[in-house]
Structure 1
Amino acid sequence: MAAAADPAPDPTPAIRAALDRLAGDMPALGVAVSGGGDSVALMRIMAGWACGRRIMVATVDHGLRENSTDEARQVADMARSLGLPHETLTWQPDGMAGNLMANARDARLRLLSDWGRRNDLAAVALGHTADDRAETLMMRLARGSGIDGLAAMAEWRDAFGTRWLRPMLGAGRAELRDWLRAQDFAWIDDPSNDRDEFERVRIRKAIAAMDLDIAALSRAAAHIAEARDALSHYALLASEDAVARNGSLTLLRRPLSDAPVEIRRRLLVATCRWITGADYPPRRATVLHALDAVATGNRVTLDGTIIEPCGDRLRILREPAAALRAAPSTDGIWDNRWKIGGLRPGQHVAAVGFAPLPALNWRLSGLRRDEAAASPAIWQGDRLIAAPLLRPCPPFRSNPLRGPTEFRKLVMAH
């Protein structure tokens, strides 16, 4: 008589422990569910873990496959069977240029982020596994990525205004599917997972062909992440004297000049993202070029910012040309940098620009000329109404969207 097969290992204790660690104090969480085995497993595990927490489910319908709408409906049915509210978020890719998969990924995160904010969710959980972590490591190695790229797939990260959680990085894809089969839980197989035109599919097949150990690759990515965190702490110490004022930053030059190139690069990336609010860092080559310019005492532009040595300090401010390109705002949030209060109907926020500066007597504000030109102004049509940073003008109020706390978070960002 043949021996009975060993039961499928239960991945839920480790995933529950990760959820306790990452989200134990969060009263409401979202979970992104495509319908594939990984995200379905996460949804089912979170439903059992909730213990009074509010759990909500969202599916992004990218419209890239014929059956995507029907699959979203199937996920809605699964969620309802677990007593979880579900919403389908739709993306319209028409007219998008460039890398379709990258555009779809960013659109998915933006849609989920907006959904999370609308529903007061503290974070959104994603169904990435050890396999995803290993595949990402190999993809980034093939591209020659630096330590941040190789350390991708952290357990949590902040991006697009949302905290993203990955509580299943310790579990393998096959392990999760074995668990689903043992529980007689269904999931949806995505046919694009077998299409060789996608880089991740090619890497996945290469890993299988070389019989590489997924768990070992995932551990290697985790070890690189630990090294990245150490560098981030070093960078934070080197920038502890940073001063944030009126949407600009100043850093002491000596700690920067004494630090290794990688620390200086990380700080320049963090300052640029703090100034602009960009979701992604500037390209490595352009950052290194900027570092070379700064080292010789020259002023340089980088990703919509101006970086200029000023005595013993380095000043980083918004580039006026970039501020002038920013779309006018009628809701008070402008250039991803400022929140302006007191707007009346028919008024909008846009950059001051250079032309009005003489009449505003801008030097009295204490701002540099470029800072003044890039600062927010209230306009009615083509008529300048007020420039809050240059001259107090109630009832208008101006507040930067980011302060010193946000800068420290960006220095430590995953």
Structure 2
Amino acid sequence: MTLPPADPALRVHAALDRLAGDMPAIGVAVSGGGDSVALMHMIADWGRGRRIMVATVDHGIRPESAAEARQVGRAARALGLSHATLVWQRGTETGNLMANARDARLRLLSGWAQRNDLPAIALGHTADDQAETLLMRLGRGSGIDGLASMAEWRDAFGSRWLRPMLGAGRQDLRDWLRMRNIPWLDDPSNDNEDFDRIRVRRAISAMGLDIAALARAANHIQEARDALSHYAAHAARDAEAYNGSLTLPRRAYGDAPSEIRRRLIVAACRWITGADYPPRRNTVLHALNAIATGHRVTLDGALIEPAGDRIRLFREAAAALRAPDTQDGIWDNRWHVSGLKPGQHVAALGMGEVARVKWRLSGLARDEAAATPAIWEGDRLIAAPLIRPTAPYDVRPVRVASHFRRLVMAH
């Protein structure tokens, strides 16, 4: 006797209980494809009594995208859910179109969630996405972090992202939709072999590979990755943060295996800069070689300086000079700044002004002081609050040492 397949909604609901059971509200990103449409219906059933909001990002890459977003809006409202269409206003971005579109999608969704007080956003990634991502990254020679399975949740772009459907297969979800006569949209790009993912998807089908087995392999790699993260967190236990800079004990760093040293430096660099993604592997390896020989080196806007029994990391002054003015009271993704008067703005102090403000009294290195936030009126320096506290200006770091240890675990 053949047993009927398990209802994928039960697995998704169980994941939602784990990930969002205590949340009074949740956002759902819905493109209109089968995976995200199934997620919207499953969350609607699960979330009775919660505030559930739906958003669709219109990238404007295909002429049909606006009409598809409207169709998702009608389907959401039929379930009693509010819907918003978020339009990507493409600028002068260069490089990989799909990578730019992905980042734009996450930033738009994060802004939408923050405006609506949504503690998390659910995404429709499935077991098939796990398997495809594993093979794509194998082909690119990725390390253990790239090969590890997608996490059920992560924090990035200022929001928490949930993936409650990783235990469900794409075909099971479409069968679930068909049984309920729920329509979805088929994206024509799913037939475009110009995209790596589509070529990998077809190779999986042609070779008869088991999606569930590939997803399990990614989970096993994730378990190994978690073990490395715990080791790295132990090595990072004595790290110290002060005024936006970070110090690592050189002995604990030097005694650790090379992979742990790499993890510490990547996490430290991200802590300094606030970057959403780690630096490229080749640039990290160059930095590790420089540290090993006792040389100063820059890495993605962070300056790394081996000095005696410590390794100090702080913001590169040239990178800080490129930072825009404050956004919602935050400057350079590193500092909370308040007390500005009309006509004033925040910019890096800069090397030219360091000597004038007697930087040595601050206990900061010269380059470190040059990267600190200063208050300006036009081209006139008004105050350098980290060098010399000045009312009414208040400057506080966005991140403290505990954030570094969390980044070590997340990397």
- Gaps spanning 5+ residues in structure 1: where? none
Structural mapping, 1:269-308, within 5 Å: 269-308=266-305
Contact 1:9 1:179 in 2 (8 A): no
Residue 210 of structure 2 aligns with which residue? 213
C-alpha separation in 2, matches of 1:303 and 1:97: 18
Structural mapping, 1:82-101, within 5 Å: 82-101=79-98
Find 1:354's aligned residue among 337, 351, 354: 351
Distance of aligned partners of 1:241 and 1:154 in 2 relative to their CA distance in 1, 3 Å threshold: same
Deviations along 1:334-377, whole A, 9 cap, x unmatched?
Answer: 11111110011110000001122222111111111111100000
Residue 381 of structure 2 aligns with which residue? 384
1:232 equivalent in alignment to 2:229: yes
Find 1:114's aligned residue among 111, 115, 123: 111
Structural mapping, 1:185-334, within 5 Å: 185-329=182-326, 332-334=329-331
3-state SS of paired residue (1:59): strand
Structural mapping, 1:333-344, within 5 Å: 333-344=330-341
Alpha-carbon distance, 1:6 to partner: 7.5
Residue 40 of structure 1 aligns with which residue? 37
3-state SS of paired residue (1:58): strand
Moved more, 200-209 or 324-333: 324-333
Distance of aligned partners of 1:311 and 1:284 in 2 relative to their CA distance in 1, 3 Å threshold: same
Contact 2:149 2:215 in 1 (8 A): no
Alpha-carbon distance, 1:51 to partner: 2.9
Find 1:52's aligned residue among 46, 49, 53: 49
1:366 equivalent in alignment to 2:357: no
Contact 1:158 1:413 in 2 (8 A): no
Two-structure CA RMSD over aligned residues (Å):
1.4
C-alpha separation in 2, matches of 1:371 and 1:190: 49
C-alpha separation in 1, matches of 2:246 and 2:70: 48
Distance of aligned partners of 1:46 and 1:321 in 2 relative to their CA distance in 1, 3 Å threshold: same
C-alpha separation in 2, matches of 1:180 and 1:330: 43
Moved more, 76-85 or 89-98: 89-98
Deviations along 1:140-177, whole A, 9 cap, x unmatched?
Answer: 00000011110141111111111111010010000000
1:402 equivalent in alignment to 2:402: no
Deviations along 1:38-67, whole A, 9 cap, x unmatched?
Answer: 000001000111131211100000011111
Identity %: 71
Distance of aligned partners of 1:98 and 1:12 in 2 relative to their CA distance in 1, 3 Å threshold: same
Deviations along 1:289-335, whole A, 9 cap, x unmatched?
Answer: 11111111111111111111121111000011111121233753211
3-state SS of paired residue (1:355): helix
Instruction: Give the number of aligned pairs.
Output: 411
Residue 77 of structure 1 aligns with which residue? 74
Find 2:130's aligned residue among 133, 137, 142: 133
Alpha-carbon distance, 1:11 to partner: 0.6
1:146 equivalent in alignment to 2:113: no
Deviations along 1:270-293, whole A, 9 cap, x unmatched?
Answer: 000000011111111111111111
Contact 1:130 1:215 in 2 (8 A): yes
Find 1:173's aligned residue among 170, 179, 185: 170
Contact 1:274 1:410 in 2 (8 A): yes
Find 2:157's aligned residue among 140, 160, 164: 160
3-state SS of paired residue (2:381): strand
C-alpha separation in 1, matches of 2:148 and 2:259: 15
C-alpha separation in 1, matches of 2:272 and 2:69: 38
1:103 equivalent in alignment to 2:100: yes
C-alpha separation in 2, matches of 1:117 and 1:95: 26
1:16 equivalent in alignment to 2:13: yes
